[in-house]
Chain A
Amino acid sequence: MKKLFLPLEALSLKRRIFIAFCLISLLPLLVVGFYLAYKNLPSYTYLILGINILLGWWIIVQILNSITSIIKKTQENFSLLGEVKPTEDEVKLLDEIFDKMTVKVRKSFQELREISKTTEKLNEEVSEKIALLSAILQINDLVSQGTDIKEVFRLIVRRIKSILNFDLTFILLDLEKGLFSLEAGEPSQNINFKTLSKDDFFLKPLIEKGEVILLDQNNPRRELENFSKDILGVNNLVLLPIFLKREIIGILGAGVKSLEFSFSEEELDTLKTFSKHISFIIEHQRISKRIKDLEINDPLTGLYNAKFAKERLDEEVKRAIVNQRPCGFILIKIKNFRDYIDKIGVLALESVLKKIANIMKDSLEVGQKAVRISEDSLGIIAPEKSKAQLEKQGSELLAKIKQEILAEGLDLVFSVAENPIDGASAEELISKASSI
């Protein structure tokens, strides 16, 4: 339902009281003043004056109703909460309610401040976690690109130092039995040691039980102070084991110079995460190496790789010696390889190498293997071939390659080496062929 004096309700309480005051007191006083001055008033003036006074009282009643309603509502709410007891003295009740409300608001402000602090702390933790995640992603990216593991470790120590705001971080790995060697340290000029012996007394809990060793305000360790203060120049030190298949293969260390400091649980958790990640990287590297060792093909040309070539040629030479037969090696080499790459570009060169490899594969005789022994040299392992036969095959192969690959500036040469004339091992034969 539409209210009659809607614009009045939009006004503040103070203004509404002022309007009511004007209608009840000020206006009648003016009328009385007018009457006293002129001794004459039109008869309808009394009617208007009466209506104004009634309107003024109506506004006051409305204001009082609003106040009563607010008091009632507040009383009901606070009664429900059990904060105040109902009473007839509404002013006292309101006073009590306001007191309670003030206390509550103050308490709420304090709670808000606490929440704000907690939120700030949480934000810091989230930022730290994001930085940690970002660091791990960056590290993984480097690992997947096949970056040198030392470079990866250097990045790890740099990121730990910046994320946790430590003064010192380092990684030690057990590459020799009983000795941890420094793999990476930041800042490098502050780390004045290269190795740590597993027999060092202060490492005992870490080596024997895999425990984290802490030296800080809350964890004094006299046995660690010499290493921490004199060698590393830090007053607080943490050493975490790096495990690989339940064996301790390294140590992750971090130090802080400040005198009044203790490592927090969050900082230790972050360090533990990095420690685990380092072990993943080492395992990944070992597996990659094993896979690489098992690979026998050159990824570009599809020919057998250099490692396979040497092993196979050695086997063939041994067999040749036992059976009193020859074993040969034909080498096809791109002359001025670097100049040729500069001239045609890597992609074009790869295409040329693939074509040469395909021609070589097609020209193989029974028992022969085509191999790639270096970036610019391909070859054929040719058992049971005399030197004259090898030269004939090499010459024909070279002619065929030159005929089929019309690449400007491509300068190919071939040479041959044979057991027993040129050597009795793969290394000797490849070296002899390469030197011609």
Chain B
Amino acid sequence: MRYFKKRIDKPLGELLIEKGLISRTQLQEALKVQKERGGLIGEVMVSLGFAKEEDIAHILSLQYGFPYLPLEHYEIPKELVKIIPKQVASQYCLIPIDKIGSTLTIAMANPLNPQAIDDVEYISNSDVQIFVATASDIRKAIERCYAENP
């Protein structure tokens, strides 16, 4: 099991309240919705309109020390997407963005998913380096890149 060294030992919701991005009531409502429908708390808050994706990505970056990478104008090498099947990329909401030697760099919306990182390492047979990106940016990138390499 992969462990993440947190810079700030607080849950995402608490950090968002601390930064004044959401209220406690909104957090409770988001937790309730998450319990009913499932999904990630950050995505639930975005879907409910309580927070922006960028805010979530920034907070994750701040909390866990992963660098934030806006993917909007990022050019992803086409040969990289062949490393990770579309189904894996879509389900884990991640996309490979670079590979140097035996280190594969990926951008993912939820870097707190050790099994996803395990699977990427398993498939690519590489060490994985993580960047945080917004879920919508990653999904757009997946649609763009995998449309050409299904």
Q: Roughly how many angstroms separate A319 CA and B1 CA in the complex, as a whole number?
A: 21
For the complex, is A421 an interface residue (Cβ under 8 Å from B)? yes
* Complex contacts, A421 vs chain B, CB 8 Å: 85, 87-88, 119, 122-123
* Complex contacts, A385 vs chain B, CB 8 Å: 115
Residue of A nearest to B93 (CB): A324
For the complex, is B61 an interface residue (Cβ under 8 Å from A)? no
Q: Are B40 and A324 in contact (CB under 8 A)?
A: yes
Q: A419: which of B91, B121, B122, B123 is its contact (CB, 8 Å)? A: B91
- The secondary structure that dominates the B interface is helix
Q: Are B88 and A420 in contact (CB under 8 A)?
A: yes
Residues of B within 8 A of A (CB): 1, 37-40, 85, 87-88, 90-93, 110, 113-116, 118-119, 121-123
Surface stretch bound by B, among A166-174, A273-281, A288-296, A386-394 = A386-394
Going nearest first, the 10 A-B pairs with the smallest beta carbon separation are: A386-B118, A386-B115, A420-B91, A322-B38, A420-B87, A326-B115, A420-B88, A387-B122, A386-B119, A388-B122
Task: Give A104 Cβ to nearest chain B Cβ, in Å.
Answer: 98
Q: Are A388 and B91 in contact (CB under 8 A)?
A: no
* Complex contacts, A388 vs chain B, CB 8 Å: 118-119, 121-122
Query: How many A-B residue pairs lie within 8 Å, measured between CB atoms?
Result: 58
Task: Give A166 Cβ to nearest chain B Cβ, in Å.
Answer: 64
For the complex, is A325 an interface residue (Cβ under 8 Å from B)? yes
Q: Roughly how many angstroms separate A268 CA and B114 CA in the complex, as a whole number?
A: 75
Q: Are B118 and A322 in contact (CB under 8 A)?
A: no
| With contact pairs A384-B115, A385-B115, A424-B87 given, residues A324 and B92 touching in the complex (Cβ less than 8 Å) | yes
Q: Roughly how many angstroms separate A419 CA and B88 CA in the complex, as a whole number?
A: 8
The A393-436 residues at the B interface (CB cut-off 8 A) are 418-421, 424
Highest count of chain B CB atoms <10 Å: which of A321, A325, A418, A424: A325
Q: Mark A321-357, 1 if CB is under 8 A from B, else 0.
A: 1111110000000000000000000000000000000
Q: Are A389 and B118 in contact (CB under 8 A)?
A: yes
* Complex contacts, B1 vs chain A, CB 8 Å: 389
* Complex contacts, A326 vs chain B, CB 8 Å: 115-116, 119
Q: Are A322 and B87 in contact (CB under 8 A)?
A: no
Extra contacts besides A385-B115, A387-B118, A388-B122 (17): CB < 8 Å: A321-B91, A323-B38, A323-B40, A325-B113, A325-B115, A384-B115, A386-B119, A388-B119, A389-B1, A389-B115, A389-B118, A418-B119, A420-B85, A420-B88, A420-B92, A420-B119, A424-B91
Residue of A nearest to B1 (CB): A389
Residue of A nearest to B2 (CB): A386
Residue of A nearest to B135 (CB): A324
* Complex contacts, A419 vs chain B, CB 8 Å: 91
In this complex, the interface size class of chain A, counting residues with CB under 8 Å from chain B, is 10 to 19
Residue of A nearest to B110 (CB): A324
Task: Give A60 Cβ to nearest chain B Cβ, in Å.
Answer: 125
Residue of A nearest to B37 (CB): A322
17 A-B pairs within 8 Å (CB atoms) are namely A322-B39, A323-B38, A323-B40, A324-B40, A324-B93, A324-B113, A324-B116, A325-B115, A384-B115, A386-B114, A386-B122, A387-B118, A387-B122, A419-B91, A420-B92, A421-B123, A424-B87
Task: Give B3 Cβ to nearest chain A Cβ, in Å.
Answer: 14
Q: Roughly how many angstroms separate A384 CA and B39 CA in the complex, as a whole number?
A: 14
Task: Give B57 Cβ to nearest chain A Cβ, in Å.
Answer: 15
Task: Give B108 Cβ to nearest chain A Cβ, in Å.
Answer: 9
Task: Give A306 Cβ to nearest chain B Cβ, in Å.
Answer: 25
Residue of B nearest to A391 (CB): B122
Task: Give A384 Cβ to nearest chain B Cβ, in Å.
Answer: 6
Q: Roughly how many angstroms separate A322 CA and B39 CA in the complex, as a whole number?
A: 6
Task: Give B17 Cβ to nearest chain A Cβ, in Å.
Answer: 23
* Complex contacts, B93 vs chain A, CB 8 Å: 324
Task: Give B31 Cβ to nearest chain A Cβ, in Å.
Answer: 14
Task: Give B60 Cβ to nearest chain A Cβ, in Å.
Answer: 14
Task: Give A224 Cβ to nearest chain B Cβ, in Å.
Answer: 64
Q: Roughly how many angstroms separate A322 CA and B110 CA in the complex, as a whole number?
A: 13
Task: Give B115 Cβ to nearest chain A Cβ, in Å.
Answer: 4
* Complex contacts, B39 vs chain A, CB 8 Å: 322-324
* Complex contacts, B116 vs chain A, CB 8 Å: 324-326, 386
Q: Roughly how many angstroms separate A12 CA and B87 CA in the complex, as a whole number?
A: 119
Q: Roughly how many angstroms separate A4 CA and B31 CA in the complex, as a whole number?
A: 126
Q: Roughly how many angstroms separate A384 CA and B92 CA in the complex, as a whole number?
A: 12
Residue of A nearest to B121 (CB): A388
Q: Roughly how many angstroms separate A322 CA and B36 CA in the complex, as a whole number?
A: 12
Q: Roughly how many angstroms separate A321 CA and B89 CA in the complex, as a whole number?
A: 11
Task: Give B73 Cβ to nearest chain A Cβ, in Å.
Answer: 25
Highest count of chain B CB atoms <10 Å: which of A324, A386, A389: A324
Q: A387: which of B40, B90, B119 is its contact (CB, 8 Å)? A: B119
